[in-house]
Chains A and B, each alone.
Chain A
């Protein structure tokens, strides 16, 4: 009986490998991978993004080995930067306002940022580019694509 269950378990494991289950799982646990920096990032919108108003979201970074989307979070070694870009039109939008998030006592939360004044100036396909920069150099970048 145990041997029978073991064979089925092995079969399911092989099926999961061939159907790409691990990748889907990684996408779910690391929505915005920053491989060069060895970090993951996620965006949590305050309300569903829209081209009809100003939007805002919380941006979180974590080390996928030591943490998860639920924490603990890790501050990147480079400067994080968010740029809105409309690929089909070849232009961006107004700069967003980015600040370190704080807890109820006012202490800075490492690896957590508030991003406000997120304005998509027209409907269409937009990219939210999450960058880690050293001045002019983009060290790493992950993109969240939206169809607004």
Chain B
């Protein structure tokens, strides 16, 4: 590999990151409760680098109770919505080794019936995700069944304000915990079809927070570590192997219990489960740019029993991605 594409790529990355820093400060939705970045930014094709810029609108549509029953957020009840902007990039450093990063920001509002709607949205930077990956199962020659395989390790940096750092849940824009993770991803492409399967194990580390409650009251909370996993099963179809791709996704995630001590009073959170369904449509623009519209429904179109202990959202996202060929 020559060094000039890397130089060009590095310059482009720098420009994009500066551009992002100049954007209004945005983040992650329902940050406390399962918005979550579900997978690493990986290059799974033959390109040298890939960059993506996305905007998304997310609305909480239901609460999943501990029994698994869904309680829809009907008109007239408390509403939570979020507008997100994200920038992600991945770069091949060596033939089979790559790095990636994702920055996210959002503007979030919480509207309560009967209260003035003049509260401005909470705007800020969300958590940052960094990852590196290795293609452990390359596709040197065509096989009708053998997939490409990647393992990755990553970390979620708690740069977004968490729900434990603010008195208003509407201002929570990140998970709040340093979270190392590792995963494996398999991808297989046939002429018109493609399939992806991935699982990520993550361990959110413990952390202490201090909150000024006002009137001279200070609260200290200590949170223990929390284990969890994210999964992904995706299927895509490109009619005539052309410029159009239609995709469908199943994205389950689980978070374990976490010990909590607030002002000396101990308790334990319940485990949380979310099963999201998604569909997306991608159109290849001239050159090596693609535009994708993706819809994700954590309420799984109202199916009960698939999620528990979580606020569930629907997200509509538009992603513009550009790749640089090797």
A residues touching B (Cβ–Cβ < 8 Å)?
51-54, 79, 81, 83, 85, 87-95, 117, 119, 121-125, 131, 133, 135-138, 141
Contact = CB atoms under 8 A, between A and B. Distances in A.
A95 B214 contact: yes
B194 to A, nearest CB: 37
B248 interface: no
B33 A89 contact: yes
In which size bucket is the chain B interface? 35 or more
Given A52-B76, A125-B66, A87 B267 contact: yes
Interface string B212-228: 01111111100100000
A94 B63 CA distance: 18
B214 to A, nearest CB: 7
Interface stretch (B40-48, B258-266, B317-325): B258-266
B110 A53 contact: no
Nearest to A88: B270
B163 interface: yes
B128 interface: no
A135 B218 contact: yes
Contact of A81 (B66, B76, B213, B269): B213
Contact of A122 (B114, B260, B265, B311): B311
Contacts of B115: 54, 117
A136 B164 CA distance: 16
Contacts of B56: none
Nearest to B164: A91
Nearest to A117: B115
A90 B113 contact: no
Given A135-B217, A136-B218, A54 B112 contact: yes
Contacts of B265: 138, 141
A17 B71 CA distance: 43
B276 to A, nearest CB: 18
B62 to A, nearest CB: 9
A111 to B, nearest CB: 18
Given A52-B78, A135-B217, 4 more contacts: A89-B33, A94-B169, A121-B78, A133-B217
A85 B263 CA distance: 13
Name the residue in A93, A121, A141 with the highest tally of chain B Cβ atoms < 10 Å from its Cβ: A121
Contacts of A133: 217
Interface in B96-136: 110, 112-115
A49 to B, nearest CB: 13
Interface in B38-91: 60, 63, 65-66, 71, 74, 76-78, 80
B139 interface: no
Contact of A124 (B65, B77, B112): B65
